Structure 1
Amino acid sequence: MPETDPLTWARDHTPVLESLREEFGESQPLSGYTVAFASHLEAKTGVAIETLHAAGAEVLFAPSEPQSTHGDVVDALEAHDGITAFAWEGMTDAEFDEAQHDLLEHEPDFILDDGCELIAKVHADHPEVAANVIGGGEQTTAGITRLEAMDEEGVLAFPVYGVNDTPMKHFFDNVHGTGESALTNVAITTNSLVSGRDVVVCGYGYCGRGIARKARGMGAQTIVTEADPRKALEAHMDGHRVMDMDEAAEAGELFITATGNRDVIRERHFERMPDGAVICNAGHFDVEIEVGALEALAEKTTTPKEGITRYHLPDGRELNLLAEGRLVNLTGPYSQGHPAEVMDTTFAMMFTAAYDMLADGTDLDPGLYTVPDRLDRAVASRKLDTLGLSTEGLTDRQQAYYEEWEHPDSSF
Structure 2
Amino acid sequence: WADREMPVLRLIRERFEKEKPLTGVKLVACAHITTETANLARTLQAGGAEALLIASNPLSTQDDVAASLVADWGIPVMAIKGESIETYVSHVKAALDTNPNLIIDDGSDVVATMLKEKKELIDNLIGTTEETTTGIVRLKAMQKAGVLNFPSIAVNDAQTKHFFDNR
Range class of TM-score, shorter chain: over 0.9
Structure 1 partner of 2:146: 154
Which protein has the bigger helix share?
A: 2
Cα distance change on mapping 1:157 and 1:86 into 2, 3 Å: farther
Alpha carbons 1:60, 1:85 under 8 Å: kept: yes
SS of the aligned residue for 1:106 comes to coil
Structure 2 matches for 1:62-141, cutoff 5 A? 62-79=54-71, 80-81=73-74, 83-141=75-133
Amino acid at match of 2:135: G
Structure 2 partner of 1:344: none
Distance 1:84 1:125 in 2: 23
TM-score by length of 2: 0.94
Q: CA deviation at 1:131?
A: 3.0
Amino acid at match of 1:46: A
Structure 2 matches for 1:338-353, cutoff 5 A? none
Alpha carbons 2:26, 2:98 under 8 Å: kept: no
Larger relative contact order, structure 1 or 2 (CA cutoff 8 Å, min sep 6): 2
1:91-143, Cα deviation, whole Å (9 max, x unpaired): 11110111111110111111011111211111111111233211111111111
Aligned-residue CA RMSD (Å): 1.2
Alpha carbons 1:131, 1:158 under 8 Å: kept: no
Structure 2 matches for 1:10-409, cutoff 5 A? 10-79=2-71, 80-81=73-74, 83-173=75-165, 175-176=166-167
Distance 2:126 2:49 in 1: 14
Amino acid at match of 2:14: E
Distance 1:11 1:17 in 2: 8
Amino acid at match of 2:87: E
Amino acid at match of 2:161: K
Distance 2:114 2:122 in 1: 6
Q: CA deviation at 1:89?
A: 2.6
Amino acid at match of 1:102: A
Distance 2:59 2:81 in 1: 7
Distance 1:16 1:58 in 2: 21
SS of the aligned residue for 1:23 comes to helix
Distance 2:111 2:163 in 1: 24
- Tell me the percent identity: 39
1:305-348, Cα deviation, whole Å (9 max, x unpaired): xxxxxxxxxxxxxxxxxxxxxxxxxxxxxxxxxxxxxxxxxxxx
Distance 1:94 1:151 in 2: 27
Alpha carbons 1:29, 1:55 under 8 Å: kept: yes
Alpha carbons 2:3, 2:39 under 8 Å: kept: yes
Distance 2:67 2:104 in 1: 21
Computing the radius of gyration over CA atoms, which structure comes out larger, 1 or 2? 1
SS of the aligned residue for 1:156 comes to coil
Q: Which runs of 5+ in 1 are unaligned?
A: 1-8, 177-412
Distance 1:41 1:75 in 2: 10
Q: Which runs of 5+ in 2 are unaligned?
A: none
Distance 1:56 1:11 in 2: 19
Distance 1:149 1:106 in 2: 26
SS of the aligned residue for 1:66 comes to coil
TM-score by length of 1: 0.39
Alpha carbons 2:38, 2:65 under 8 Å: kept: yes
Which 4+ residue blocks in structure 1 deviate beyond 4 angstroms? none
Task: Work out the number of aligned pairs and report it.
Answer: 166
Distance 1:132 1:37 in 2: 16
Q: CA deviation at 1:32?
A: 0.7
Distance 1:124 1:170 in 2: 31
SS of the aligned residue for 1:67 comes to coil
Alpha carbons 1:105, 1:129 under 8 Å: kept: no
